[in-house]
Amino acid sequence: MPVPDTAAISLVPLRWWHVEQVLPLERELFGPSAWTAETFWSELAHPENRQYLVAVEPSPGASADSEDGTGPGDGGTRIVGYAGVMVNASQADVQTIAVAPRAAGRGLGGRLLDALVGAAVRRGATCLMLEVRSDNAPALRLYTGRGFERIAIRRGYYQPEGADAWVMRRRPLTLPARDDSGSGCSGRHEQDQGRREQGQDDRKQREQGQDDRKQREQQQREQGPREERA
């Protein structure tokens, strides 16, 4: 089976219509520990602190005007990977990252990871955490090559196999040279960011007004009581 050209692969927000296509790949890659459809639904129900991307490529024989994976009628594409991140204040956690075997070895895992880093930075995170099987050599090479370091080991974390997990962290975070996360940023997040910035401006104006009032009151006390005239 030919390895797909990653130049033709697009990263788009993972939506409800992708879940059915993601599940077979999830089961193939993760076996007994694979997420269910309900798990994906639960994750997608929290766009305020989660962001998921799916990697799609044109299906064999698809016409040039086939769907690009951004709508329910995306029969012209197939999924070759996906990833997700959760951000809570300054810490972000990789929820999942997966690449189809037919797309392995072409840098797609790095693209997905860079997109998660970009999403985390844009949401205010300063460090990114993840867990990986200690015997997953390709993943360990990817993470260490992207600046992650091992900070702990969880014995027997992955069941039923009983494989150990490495807890890894990247800190500090900076935007990667190639950031595919922009297309996955939800409008709700951008609106929330705008409201926060507006709120900060309003607070600064109120604080400035309070400082001016205190300064005038201090000047009045130093000048003594003012004479009142009828």
pLDDT score of 167 more than 80? yes
pLDDT score of 110 more than 80? yes
Judge if 126 and 212 occupy the same domain.
no
Judge if 126 and 217 occupy the same domain.
no
Mean pLDDT for 1-23 is 82
Tell me whether residue 230 is in a domain.
no
The enclosing domain of 39 has a CATH number of 3.40.630.30
CB 51 within 8 A of CB 90: no
Judge if 98 and 62 occupy the same domain.
yes
Residues of the domain holding 192: 186-222
Tell me whether residue 36 is in a domain.
yes
Contacts of 199 (CB under 8 A, 6+ apart): none
Q: Which of 15-29, 44-58, 187-201 has the lowest mean pLDDT?
A: 187-201
pLDDT band at 106 (very low <50, low <70, confident <90, very high): confident
CA distances from 54 to 26, 59, 131, 192 (A): 12, 15, 20, 24
Tell me whether residue 228 is in a domain.
no
pLDDT number for residue 34: 93
Dmax (CA) of the chain: 97
Judge if 141 and 202 occupy the same domain.
no
Tell me whether residue 1 is in a domain.
no
Mean pLDDT for 195-212 is 51
CB 146 within 8 A of CB 83: no
Q: Where does residue 52 rank: exposed (0-12), middle (13-18), buried (19+ CB within 10 A)?
A: buried
Q: Two tokens at 21? A: 């296509």
Tell me whether residue 32 is in a domain.
yes
The length of the chain is: 230
Judge if 23 and 137 occupy the same domain.
yes
Judge if 214 and 123 occupy the same domain.
no
Judge if 66 and 177 occupy the same domain.
yes
Judge if 108 and 164 occupy the same domain.
yes
pLDDT band at 177 (very low <50, low <70, confident <90, very high): confident
Tell me whether residue 22 is in a domain.
yes
Q: Two tokens at 198? A: 């507006």
pLDDT score of 209 more than 60? no
Judge if 171 and 202 occupy the same domain.
no
pLDDT band at 8 (very low <50, low <70, confident <90, very high): confident
How many independent structural domains does the chain possess?
2
pLDDT number for residue 178: 73
Judge if 209 and 123 occupy the same domain.
no
Judge if 137 and 50 occupy the same domain.
yes
Mean pLDDT for 10-37 is 95
Q: Which of 22-36, 109-123, 193-207 has the lowest mean pLDDT?
A: 193-207
Judge if 93 and 200 occupy the same domain.
no
